A = this chain, B = another copy of it.
Amino acid sequence: MQHYDVIIIGGGPAGFQAALSARKSNPKVSIALIRKEKKALIPCGIPYVLHSLKSVDDDILPDEPLQKHKIDIIIGEVSRREDHTLQLSDKRQISFKKLVLATGSRPVFPSIPGVEKEGVFFVKKEYDYLIKLQGAARSSKNILVIGGGYIGVEIADELLRAGKHVTLIEMLPSLLATTMDPEFSSDLHAELENHGAKIILGCKVIQFTGKDQFDGADLDNGDHIEADMAILSVGYKPNLEIAVTFGLETEKNYGIIVDEYLRTSDPDILAAGDCALHKNSITGKASRVMLASTAMAQGRLVGSNLFRISFVKNFQGTLGSFATKVGNFSFGVSGLTELEAKELGIHYFTGEHDSVDRHPGKLPGATKIHIKLLFARYSHVLLGAQIRGGDSVGELVNMISVMIQKRMTDMEIDTIQIGTHPLLTSSPIAYPVINATSNAIEKWFHKTTEEL
């Protein structure tokens, strides 16, 4: 029987990062990573397999960093455990001292009649499946995308770039409804439409049509959409089977219950990534956000908490920082939206600013930026931000992520020093984060709480 000091189950971002952090904190222990897939995928890159990347092989998480850090890779499926021994479905037995579950998530399969037809695809994190999906998309002309979350929107955008006819259906009244305020999601909506997408909101598919091969969908508004294939992305749910088999405490649809050091109900088992229940860092509520960046943040903590607890290396809840690009605009979100703040009854005020991401604005490549910041009334702490702009939004949102996590107030941000460059950023006069902050301050400085 093989033995490892540390075993990680799962080869996605959380598992990958957990293995590396285990090595960094523990230079001398033996470590193995067990995964089902021969090739592990970069999950956020999957939409880009449809057009921007040549092949699915361009979207692979490389094994080299694991090998370089002397982490054995075991391809296999864990079926059960007995005390500190894992049994694989091929009967191999492997024992461990400490175990990390990073079993990830999988797409939700809605029970729509006809969902099993040829030509109806999901966005699975599986190499062979994605090759099929890629092939089907490349040979199709009319494609129906179901689900207007980040993945659905990015798939629609990729397909449009590839010159496909795209119809996007979302059951909620706006795209990205749970993570973006309407004024931002409507910009994104318009941008997709400008590039040729047909978008249908507030509508459900009631059945997929066609004999064995999908040829269209009936909607609950009575319409019928013809298409060559359908791609569904209507949410993900955590893979909890192994955790349940192992007798760990879990919360259905949310994940394995872990403490702030990512320890499960078994003292020798930790969990990280989509399979671990995580709470929103501002609201404290269980979060359905599943982001590789959150998974990696957890993966980076696990290694330091395996054998002894490293105080400070704890997970303080999910911030939720998103970025995406659609057409010629990029969108970024960090922390709370205004909608969420309202729903939760959080007392807030906002600051906004419009700017351009070059200075002077006549420089080639300049894109308009719109930003909205949310601050807490009373404490003045930054709660959230949304930005629409050019490519620089990807890192701008990270500057804001740092500010939220450091609980910076509007008054601190107002005095911050930043760097600017004509070809790379907004002008210092029109720097979005600072100007939106100063807009927020102006409100409370001259108004009472009632007037705000």
Tell me which residues across on chain B come within 8 A of A292, comparing CB atoms: 420, 427-428
Within 8 A of B (CB), among A315-335: 315-316, 318-319, 321-325, 330, 332-334
- Whether A417 pairs with B297 at a CB distance below 8 angstroms is yes
A159 to chain B, nearest CB (A): 15
Q: How far is the CB of A218 from chain B (nearest CB, A)?
A: 34
Residue with the highest number of chain B CB atoms closer than 10 Å, among A27, A45, A315 = A45
A283 interface contact, C-beta 8 A: no
The 8 Å CB contact of A416, one of B314, B323, B401, is: B401
Nearest CB in chain B: distance from A256 CB, A: 19
Taking a contact as CB atoms under 8 Å apart, the answer to whether B414 and A300 are in contact is: yes
A418 and B398 contact, Cβ closer than 8 Å, known pairs A48-B423, A423-B48: yes
Give Cα A363 to B154, complex, Å: 15
Q: Which of A1-9, A29-37, A74-82, A386-394 contacts B (4 or more CB under 8 A)?
A: A386-394
Q: How many copies does the complex hold?
A: 2
Chain B, residue nearest A406 (CB): B406
Contact partners of A45 in chain B: CB under 8 A? 359-360, 363, 422
Does A206 interact with chain B (Cβ within 8 Å)?
A: no
Contacts of A405 in B (CB 8 A): 416-417
A52 CB-CB contact with B under 8 Å: yes
* Residues in chain B near residue A65, CB distance under 8 A: 429
A345: Cβ under 8 A from any B Cβ:
no
Q: Choose one: B13, B53, B322; the contact of A362 (CB below 8 Å).
A: B53
- Inter-chain CA distance A446–B23, complex, in Å, is 12
Assess the A399–B395 pair: CB atoms within 8 A: yes
| Bound: A281/B416 CA distance, A | 12
Contact code string A411-437 (vs B, CB < 8 Å = 1, else 0): 110111111111111011101001000
Give the chain B neighbours of A445 by CB distance below 8 A. 24-25
Among A52, A295, A332, A415, residue most surrounded by chain B Cβ atoms (within 10 Å): A415
A80 to B332, CA, bound (A): 51
- Closest chain B residue to A48 by CB distance? B422
Known: A27-B446, A362-B54. A417 touches B293 (CB 8 A): yes
- Give the docked Cα–Cα distance between A353 and B52 (Å): 26
| A387 smallest CB distance to B (angstroms) | 11
Candidates B359, B406, B423; contact of A42 at CB < 8 Å: B359
Q: Indicate whether A60 reaches chain B with its CB closer than 8 angstroms.
A: yes
Q: How far is the CB of A432 from chain B (nearest CB, A)?
A: 10
CB distance from A409 to the nearest CB of B (A): 9
Which residues does chain B contribute within 8 Å of A438, judged by CB atoms? 24, 300
- Give chain A's interface residue range (CB within 8 Å of chain B): 35 or more
Shortest distance between the CB of A264 and any CB in chain B (Å): 20
Given known pairs A27-B446, A414-B313, A419-B321, the reply for A48 and B363 (CB within 8 Å) is yes
Asked if A222 CB lies within 8 Å of chain B CBs, one says no
Give min CB distance, A231 to chain B, whole Å.
17
Q: Are B359 and A321 in contact (CB under 8 A)?
A: no
Instruction: For the complex, give the distance between the alpha carbons of A208 and B401 in Å.
Output: 53
Interface presence of A301 (CB below 8 A):
yes
**Cβ proximity bits A370-394 to B, threshold 8 Å, 1 near / 0 not:** 0000000000000000000001111
Q: Are A429 and B48 in contact (CB under 8 A)?
A: no
Q: Which residue of B lies closest to A423 (CB)?
A: B325
- Of chain B, the residue at the smallest CB distance from A439 is B24
Tell me, yes or no, whether A291 is within 8 Å of chain B by CB.
yes
**Which one of B17, B393, B420 lies within 8 Å of A293 (CB-CB)?**
B420
Q: What B residues does A427 contact at CB under 8 A?
A: 42, 44, 292
Chain B neighbourhood of A323, CB < 8 A: 419-421, 424-425
What are 27 A-B pairs at a CB distance below 8 A? A17-B429, A24-B438, A44-B422, A45-B363, A48-B422, A52-B423, A58-B362, A59-B360, A61-B429, A65-B429, A292-B427, A293-B419, A297-B417, A312-B412, A314-B415, A319-B417, A323-B421, A330-B421, A391-B391, A395-B395, A395-B425, A398-B418, A398-B419, A399-B402, A402-B408, A402-B418, A405-B416
* 4 smallest beta-carbon distances between A and B, as pairs: A394-B424, A321-B419, A395-B395, A296-B428
